[in-house]
Structures are given as C-alpha cells and as structure tokens.
Amino acid sequence: MLGIITFIVVFLIIVVVHEFGHFYFAKRAGILVREFSVGMGPKIFAHIGKDGTAYTVRILPLGGYVRLAGWGDDETEIKTGQPVSLTVNADGLVTRINLSERQLDMDSIPMNVTSFDLEDQLEIKGLVLGQEKVYPVFHDATIVEEDGTEVRIAPQDVQYQNASVWGKFMTNFAGPMNNFILGIATFILLIFMMGGSPDVSTNQVTVAENGALQAAGVQTGDRIRKVNDVAVSSYREIQEEISKQTQNATSAPAIKLLVEQDGQEKEITVTAKKEGKSFFVGVSPYLKTGIWDKIVGGFQMAGDRSLAIFNALKNIIFHFDIRQLGGPVAIYSASNQAASQGILTIISLLGLLSINLGIVNLLPIPALDGGKIVFNLIEAIRRKPLSKEVEMYITVAGAIFMIVLMIVVTWNDIMRVFF
C-alpha cells in the first residue's frame, strides 16, 4: 500500500507541476486556459475562477492536464439538432449554453441547435418552440459539456493560435522547464536533509554506522591514502579500487587500507560485510556542510542525473532496445522500492523522474512539447504558422507513434516486473 501511495504522490506532483508551467505562461501569453485539472476521469469538484479557468479535481489521482483554447484536441462538440438550454441576460446575450442533462436551468430557453459559431461570429441558431431563432453569444459565456463540466467558450482572440510566437514557445517550453526547476529544488532539499553535499574530489570519507570500516576504527573525516597498496586521492578512486575487490566476490574479501587519522597514518585490514548479494565496507563521500555548498551540491546532483539520462537516451537512439525503456509500471516498481528504503530515496526518485520527464518531453516528437516547439521555430522562420491541417496530421501521426510505443513499453514493463 505504501508503494502505491508513493507512486500516486510522486506522479501527481511531477505532472501537476509540469501542467502548471503550461498554465502560467499560457495566461501570460493571453491564451484562455479553459480548464486546469488535478487528476483524471470523472470530476468530483469544479470551480470557475474570475480568470475564466475551470479548476477541477477528478477521481483518478494520476497526474492532471490543462485545456488551452485552440490547443491540441480542445473542442466542445455541439451536434446539429442537439437539444440545449440557453441562459440569456438582460441585453439578449447568451451567457450559458447547457449541453448536459445533469444540470437543469429553470429559467433557460430550450433550443434544438441547427448551427453555431462560438469562435468568430459568436452566435447560435436553432429551433425554439418550432421557430428558428438566432442569439448572439457573450464573449465570456460558458458552456456546460455533456459530462457536466462547465468551461468558457473559446473565441478566436483568446485561442493558442492567436498568441505571439514567443508566447506559444514559452507556453510549450514551460512544462519541461518546471520539471527542471522541481528536480533542482528537490535535489537541493535532499542535500540539506542528508546534512551536506557529497565531495567526491577528496579522499576524506564518511563512515557508515555499524559498517566494516567503523568496526576497524576508522572515523568520519579520516583520509584513505591507499587501497591494497594503490594510492588514491579522491573518493571516485577509492570507490573504484574497493569495487574491484567486492564486485565479483563469492566470500567476504579482506581489503588492506592505509588510513590517515589525526595526522597519523596506519595500515588496517577491513573485511567487507555482506548485504543482500553484495559486499560493502561502509564508506561514502565526505560531506561539505556549508549552506552554499549544499545549494551548489543540489545543482551538481541534478546535473549528474541529467547527464546520465542524456547518456541513456543516446544509447537508446544508437543501440535501440525496447527493454531499456520504462513506463508507468516501471515507475510504480521504482516507487515501491523507494518507499521501502525511506524518505530520502523517495525524494531522490521524485527529482530524477521530474528531470527525466522534462528531458523526454523536449524530444522533437509531434504530440510532445518538443514537437510543438519545433512548430514554433518553423513559424518563426517562415513568419507564418503551418496550416492547421498539416499540423494536425503531423501531431496525429506523432500521437499514434507515442500510443503504440507506450503499449509496447507497458507490456515490456509488466513482463519484466511481474514475471
């Protein structure tokens, strides 16, 4: 159960932070955000703010989304002949169009729609008590969709397509950008909770409680000068030499160390302790504890994780193997393991997944943010956007590719994790 809760919380935070980036910069660009949803599926709460955005909470706590006017597949469908009810103000303008049978407006006008234009002409036409009538629609009118969700209509002037190229670029880039910000902030928090920033450039070490080194009398702050007569000047070199002795060991290896303690050097022999299927001596990098060191350490940790993700992507591109990819099932498995190892591991996973989502979303694949950014760059170069039809075909092709890939990856995850 703890693993499931960890998965939900981590996934929810990452996705909502990502979508908030789109939300914030869309509003700055003059694009109407029709809905900001936390969760997926049927809604359990909705409120229309003064900014015209419908803020909703939905029953499945798996991520969230934003609906931007004219962005992606955002569309409210009204069929010819469909019965609706109209709320009309004192000036004769329609302020609410109700398509839902779940919400009845006692003072509304019933109509069977014959045509409508809620983007340019802002009017709706249909049969009212057998007579055809045309009603002008208020620019900020709302529409109650068939599932009961009430959102603003999307006139042309507040649609995504009407924003500047820079506004559209930032709207698309802001989601991944927020994931990078979250990842960096998370790793800075992790460094503070750990008590300091690991310094792998020195041979000064931190000794684990109840580990083999502590049992041999080594203390935190001591320096390891040699490992099996090999001189070492950094933690990376210490780790490399110890790994040579423990990596393929079948029994507890004895490792000879030259340790400097309180200015005095002494030779000791440490017998590694077995934990699970591996052997450890109980050593980790020395921690730099200054506030600035911790902040810089958080940035460095985020940079190291980013570099590892880029290297993994490079391997996937040049040596493609579907088994290298992971989806929601793999994330759940990682969350389950992190939950069993404590809060520090959970926070580390949150930062890693956030940066991973940011990087992956910037890939120039249609249907991802990176694909939309490519469209923005093409528009900036051509000084006019691609036609809606061309952009739609490319985006649909990208979406189909992503769906097929996700199905394959999920199946691969299930076979890997559960079988």
At 216, is the secondary structure helix, strand, or coil?
Answer: coil
Could you give the CA distance from residue 253 to residue 17 in angstroms, rounded to a whole number? Answer: 47
Residue 194's Cβ-side half-sphere holds a number of Cα atoms within 13 Å equal to 29
Please enumerate in sequence order all residues whose Cβ is within 8 A of that of 153, keeping only pairs 6 or more positions apart, or say none. 76, 97, 118, 137, 140, 141, 142, 143
Q: Kindly write down the DSSP assignment for every residue of 271-318, as one continuous string.
A: EPEEETTEEE--EEEEEE-SHHHHHHHHHHHHHHHHHHHHHHHHHHHH
Q: Kindly write down the DSSP assignment for every residue of 221-244, as one continuous string.
A: T-EEEEETTEE--SHHHHHHHHHH
CA distances from 268 to 227, 229, 255, 320, 389 (A): 10, 11, 8, 47, 73
Please enumerate in sequence order all residues whose Cβ is within 8 A of that of 121, keeping only pairs 6 or more positions apart, or say none. none
AA identity, residue 235: Y
Active site residue 241: no
Could you give the CA distance from residue 64 to residue 17 in angstroms, rounded to a whole number? Answer: 9
Could you give the CA distance from residue 403 to residue 179 in angstroms, rounded to a whole number? Answer: 22
Per the residue annotation, which of 19, 145, 150, 391 is the catalytic one?
19
Catalytic residue numbers read 19
